[in-house]
Structure 1
Amino acid sequence: MTDTLIKLAVQAQFRTRPTLRSVVAQMLTEHLQEKYPPLTLPVAQLRLALPREGGGRGLSPLVEVALDYLASGIFPDLTARDGLDAYLSDASGTRLSFEQNGTRHYDLAVVEALIRELPVIVQVGFQDALMAYWNMPSDAGGSRWQWFAGILQDQLRAAAIRQLAGDVPALQRINQLTDYPARETRSQRHGPESSLHAYSVQTRLVQGETQVTVQSSDLLLVDGKQVWLCNLSGRIEAYASLDAFGQALGSAHGRPVYRRQPHLATL
């Protein structure tokens, strides 16, 4: 499969992946229905009808209000103006209500509280949504995890053949990983003395009191003193030792803006 075909296949497989907008909309839907079971209108049709300076009301889509709050930390002013209150409406601006010991309107303080807690919980919600999505069956059978793992496995095998054909021991080592990705299976097949380990690479960027951790998509293979960095682009870089790799990763051209601290996570 050519690089172009692989790219198109991956795009097609993950075109419907969760986005921040979809996750926020789903979380709002679930939490609003927990508080107000009668509220069955799709969240995409919900609006905050807010009094405007100069008269009248503006309709702000509830999902947009939530996304704006996540980005800025600013929530709309719900204060009544010129005798006009704020309320929850549908897309046409009609005030929404429900029956419970008479007609009642939705409490915007409850809606506001739900949105204000999003910064604390949205990361977990996003993780749950991504996990559920990746575990769904792919068009080719198996889960999306399994399908994508197969693509990466084939790509690494092909890259090793192209670039390491003259280095038989190195090619054999990488084939160990592509044939037996799980370390336990690899040890059972090649014996507990097998020293091939695979790592993902995290880089911690430090500047003064500020620290940012960057997760790399590269795969680092270590077999004793032999080290190979396998890039997602298909390039395989060899290093004389793990120290040499660390020095290369930590080096910067010119004066560094950040101090880099590599960290390896065992796969």
Structure 2
Amino acid sequence: MKTLSSTPDFLARFVALGSFPQDQFLPRPTFKNVVAEAFKQAMLEAYPGLKADVSHAHISQSLPSADAQPAPAPDPPSTWRLIAPSTLLIQGFIDQRTLNLSADRHRLTIDQKVENPAPLSVSMATLEKLLNEWAPQVIDVFAQALIHFWSTPSPAGVSPWLWLSRVLQVGLSATHNDTHRQPALTQEQSAGLGALSGFADKEQRLKLTMETPLHAYLVNIDTTDAQGPRRLQIPGLALITRSIGERLIVMAWSLADGIELFDSLQDFAQTLPRRIPGLADDSPVVWSAYEPEGHFFQALAQTLLDKTLRTLTALGQTARAERWSAGRLALALDEEALMFHFFSAQESKDFEQLVSKLPQWLTTAARADIRAYSRLLANQVAQQQSAEGKTFLDDIPTLLDFALQTLNARMQQDHPDDPVDAARIDIHDIAIQDLKMAWLTEDVMPLTEFSLTYVGGKPAAFIQVKERSGLPLPTWLNPSYIKNLLEEIDVGSLYISLLKANLVDDAEQVTKRKALFKSQLQA
């Protein structure tokens, strides 16, 4: 069986993440829509009596005349460019320049035509002030919209943030319950992880593990980079310790990397620099462990949300430094806000390859059907992993493969110095169609198939033996040899004996194969 990932706990991520009930939550916000909504609300506050639907408004900008000579009279321009207010706000954030609007060159309009669009009764000075006030805040506005999305519960009372905390809890449970994990966990390690996944509340957990204290920490980092001092919590990472006498069991867990085992806290500390993206080799790293009160997985989910918000800010800074377009920044922010990065680049590539092989109907399937198929696929892969790639018919060849093996073995036994591959041999079976008219028929079939249909008694004169590509055959490989060979070895009877030996007579094998058959039916 192929190795799916260098991470033993790879499959636990699919088990945990396959339950996102998107249709039960609020619509996920997008950057441009959030900025457009902020502009609309700001306009309604500035102009509460405005009758027009500002959602469809554009800021129109006059285009210069194509005529090189200026017009003698100050006629109004005839052609205008329509710009979405959200685009102006985003570009204003990137450029960090004050926007200047003038009544003769700019209009706010809901008119969609570019020839002299009708203006709304809005002061350009007020509009200019509004745009310049809101442009620097667009990233913060988007961050607030995401916070609202993640914290707002569905009608069932579950918010995306609570869903994420449950995903983390289920992910840890699925990981430590994997009895086929390599390397296997010790009983003490597994019991500690089970206690954490079953008792997420700190107070309950410490009462339960009073004799062998179990602690679950978030990891705080203080470091310095080119932008100055940084303080953060490593997103999605749980540091787990369990004291048994004078021994300290040290483990780390994240949905991205699964369970990691360490000899000591110092050993764990050596891995911290690789967990901080963009950290320079010479940057100092000071770490501390923080054990949150209350529900541990809710606090762990919060670190992932905080990381997303920090990344939004960083993308805004990059967009300014590299002079991105408004569209590029919007695309980058929306992609970052979609989902957390629980898979490596190679795993994502492998996943995309898998998706390309999925049934076509999935592209138009309902979300509930997609989730059901996702769970089915994850269960089947998990079953294959637990069975180590074996099936209930493992080590039992197909009938044609068995025929090929049997024929090759017998011919090798008869003529060890003159090997021939039965897979390359065709039999031309000649039959009398009409004795009076002397009509003959000729059927060509591989030797393996002929061995299964041969019933004996056929004259050798009605059999021709040929190599499939026309190469000459050894003189011993003639119709008489084939006839005698097939009459001596009954491939069908031998195959039935093989099945009986593996599926009926051997009690130990029968038990294992029944278990594999049952598990495959359930998957």
Q: Same fold (TM over 0.5)?
A: yes
Query: What is residue 148 of structure 1 aligned with on the other side?
Result: 164
Q: Compute the displacement of 1:66 (Å).
A: 1.0
Query: What is residue 102 of structure 1 aligned with on the other side?
Result: none
Deviations 1:189-221 (A, max 9, x none): 4449834122155574624x5456665232222
Q: Is the 8 A contact 1:202 1:265 kept in 2?
A: no
Matched, 1:114 2:130: yes
Matched, 1:181 2:200: yes
- Segments of structure 2 that go 5 or more residues without pairing to the other structure are 1-10, 66-76, 293-523
Matched, 1:18 2:63: no
| 1:30 paired residue among 23, 41, 46 | 41
Distance 1:260 1:66 in 2: 38
Deviations 1:131-187 (A, max 9, x none): 322233347653322322222211111112334754111112222221122223323
* Larger helix fraction of residues: 2
Distance 2:31 2:200 in 1: 32
Distance 1:218 1:141 in 2: 27
Compared CA separation, residues 2 and 244, structure 1 to 2 (3 A): closer
Matched, 1:89 2:109: yes
Q: Is the 8 A contact 2:102 2:124 kept in 1?
A: no
Compared CA separation, residues 114 and 240, structure 1 to 2 (3 A): farther
Q: Is the 8 A contact 1:68 1:74 kept in 2?
A: no
Q: Is the 8 A contact 1:198 1:220 kept in 2?
A: yes
Report the 3-state secondary structure (helix = DSSP H, G, I; strand = E; otherwise coil) of the residue aligned with 2:163.
helix
Compared CA separation, residues 198 and 132, structure 1 to 2 (3 A): same
**Structure-to-structure mapping, 1:1-267, within 5 angstroms:** 4=14, 7=17, 9-10=19-20, 12=22, 16-39=27-50, 41-54=52-65, 55=77, 56-79=79-102, 84-92=104-112, 93-97=117-121, 106-118=122-134, 121-138=137-154, 142-162=158-178, 163=181, 166-191=185-210, 194-200=213-219, 202=221, 204=223, 206-207=225-226, 210=228, 215-223=234-242, 225-233=248-256, 235-250=258-273, 256=280, 259=283, 261=285, 263=287, 264-267=289-292
Report the 3-state secondary structure (helix = DSSP H, G, I; strand = E; otherwise coil) of the residue aligned with 2:272.
helix
Q: Compute the displacement of 1:95 (Å).
A: 0.8
Distance 1:119 1:191 in 2: 54
In structure 2, what residue type is equivalent to 1:24?
Answer: V
Report the 3-state secondary structure (helix = DSSP H, G, I; strand = E; otherwise coil) of the residue aligned with 1:128.
helix
Distance 1:161 1:260 in 2: 38
In structure 1, what residue type is equivalent to 2:201?
Answer: A
Aligned length: 253
Report the 3-state secondary structure (helix = DSSP H, G, I; strand = E; otherwise coil) of the residue aligned with 2:105.
coil
Distance 1:156 1:203 in 2: 27
Deviations 1:34-72 (A, max 9, x none): 111123544441211222232532111111111111222
Distance 1:119 1:189 in 2: 53
Report the 3-state secondary structure (helix = DSSP H, G, I; strand = E; otherwise coil) of the residue aligned with 2:237.
strand
Distance 2:80 2:185 in 1: 73
Compared CA separation, residues 74 and 258, structure 1 to 2 (3 A): farther
Q: Compute the displacement of 1:124 (Å).
A: 4.7
Compared CA separation, residues 216 and 150, structure 1 to 2 (3 A): closer
Distance 2:108 2:56 in 1: 11
Distance 2:16 2:142 in 1: 26
Report the 3-state secondary structure (helix = DSSP H, G, I; strand = E; otherwise coil) of the residue aligned with 1:217.
coil
Compared CA separation, residues 236 and 75, structure 1 to 2 (3 A): same
Compared CA separation, residues 185 and 25, structure 1 to 2 (3 A): farther
Query: What is residue 103 of structure 1 aligned with on the other side?
Result: none
Q: Is the 8 A contact 2:216 2:238 kept in 1?
A: no
Q: Compute the displacement of 1:6 (Å).
A: 5.1
Q: Is the 8 A contact 1:23 1:126 kept in 2?
A: yes
In structure 2, what residue type is equivalent to 1:178?
Answer: S
Give the % identical residues. Answer: 21
Q: Is the 8 A contact 1:138 1:147 kept in 2?
A: no
Q: Is the 8 A contact 1:206 1:258 kept in 2?
A: no
Distance 2:216 2:17 in 1: 28
Larger Rg belongs to: 2
How much is the aligned-residue C-alpha RMSD, in angstroms?
3.6
Q: Is the 8 A contact 2:215 2:241 kept in 1?
A: yes
* Larger strand fraction of residues: 1
